Amino acid sequence: MTQINPHYQKLQAGYLFPEIGRRVKEFSAQNPQAKVIRLGIGDVVLPLPEAVRSAIKKATDELGDPKTFRGYGPEQGYDFLREAIAQNDFQARGAKIEADEIFVSDGSKCDCGNIQEIFSLDSRVAVVDPVYPVYVDTNVMAGRSGHYQDGRYANFVYMPATAENNFKPAFPKEKVDLIYLCSPANPTGTVLDKKDLEGWVAFAKKHEAIILFDAAYEAFITDDSLPRSIFEIPGAREVAIEFRSFSKTAGFTGTRCAFTAIPKDLFAKNEKGEKVSVHALWHRRHCTKFNGVSYPIQRGAEAVYSAQGKKEVTSLIHYYMENARLILAGLQQTGLQAFGGIHAPYVWLKTPNGMKSWDFFDLLLSKSHVVGTPGAGFGPSGEGYFRLSAFGFRENILEALSRIKNY
């Protein structure tokens, strides 16, 4: 009989968010009268901006006319979008990233998950703990981990981020090759400042490691002096890859469009010790395994950078960040210790009386009919914490807070 990839059997239970969905479905089936408020997975609720919708419609009409019809597009994305990204997201902030260093894709979850395959299976992986589970699970699937024991996979380097260190992890003590960083962080909502990022870039240079920088939530940073891209830091071009997404920023979770920036100055080495361009490897991988994001969606993403698009996106972000502010203040008023929510659409709270994260999840669901995400699902240092997402309608956020307060 055909054998499976044995590494899949090291994975713990199901992926976090489907597991939450399963529990909520079960609860709703048993309690059909309960009006459940979902602040678990960070999924947007507000509609796509008008500028985006009209660009998608216009592009769809082009596809209905033989004179403007397009078939396969470039795998890395159309130049019009890559140029808009390079100019607006990087060059406008002094980060030197060129259009041909941008790879447009269908999601930064996919890119964060797939990027590991261009690196050696011997690469030592370092993750912040708690962390977006995709970084860990995809490296387990690939075979870089040992077995799971006491909440951790052997061979991975966990960098705890807890209230004790302001959710900013210390540098690893052992040799690591791939360092996953997320800022603003999912799940803790912590943002790394310029000094923090300079430290990481210097560390990666010194130890010849590569930083995989997930900036999917950069648009939620409310202080403009904070870096939004690791490429705002001198030297980062030689040590980092950055992942970005239109999902949370512009409401593309269902529409799908994201991108990854890989500078041409970034090199890794082959088994002979020769330098190999990481950009060239990812280019090769992208051409082989991906056929591009659809033309109408790329036109929709381009419209995010139009004057009207920027205005509409800003208002979406303000809406969610006002939710975050209300959640943070509301929880703090109840006496709960809560963090994040200032530069990120997530609030990270300490569970009361040292409750386990999943017990708190069950309690909140059964008593308040509010769904959040148990911190333990993001890693062992997330135990005893809980995440609430600010991606919801205002009335639901207020209702959820009032139920939590009443309980």
Which residues of this chain interact with ligand MLT, rule CB under 6 A? 41-43, 109, 186
Cα distance between residue 242 and residue 282, in whole Å: 13
Say if CB 189 and CB 346 are below 8 A apart: yes
Cα distance between residue 185 and residue 188, in whole Å: 6
Q: 186 or 351: whose CB is closer to ligand MLT?
A: 186
State in angstroms the smallest separation of the CB of 133 from ligand MLT: 8
State in angstroms the smallest separation of the CB of 199 from ligand MLT: 25
Q: 233 or 317: whose CB is closer to ligand MLT?
A: 317
Cα distance between residue 393 and residue 374, in whole Å: 21
Identity of residue 222 = T
Cα distance between residue 160 and residue 227, in whole Å: 22
Q: Count how many residues are written for the chain.
A: 407
Cα distance between residue 113 and residue 243, in whole Å: 11
DSSP assignment letter at 119: S
Contacts of 333 (CB under 8 A, 6+ apart): 405
Cα distance between residue 115 and residue 125, in whole Å: 12
Q: 90 or 378: whose CB is closer to ligand MLT?
A: 378
State in angstroms the smallest separation of the CB of 152 from ligand MLT: 20
Q: Which residue of this chain has its Cβ atom nearest to ligand MLT in the complex?
A: 42
State in angstroms the smallest separation of the CB of 99 from ligand MLT: 25
State in angstroms the smallest separation of the CB of 386 from ligand MLT: 13
Q: 145 or 249: whose CB is closer to ligand MLT?
A: 249
State in angstroms the smallest separation of the CB of 261 from ligand MLT: 18
**CA distance from start to end of the chain:** 54
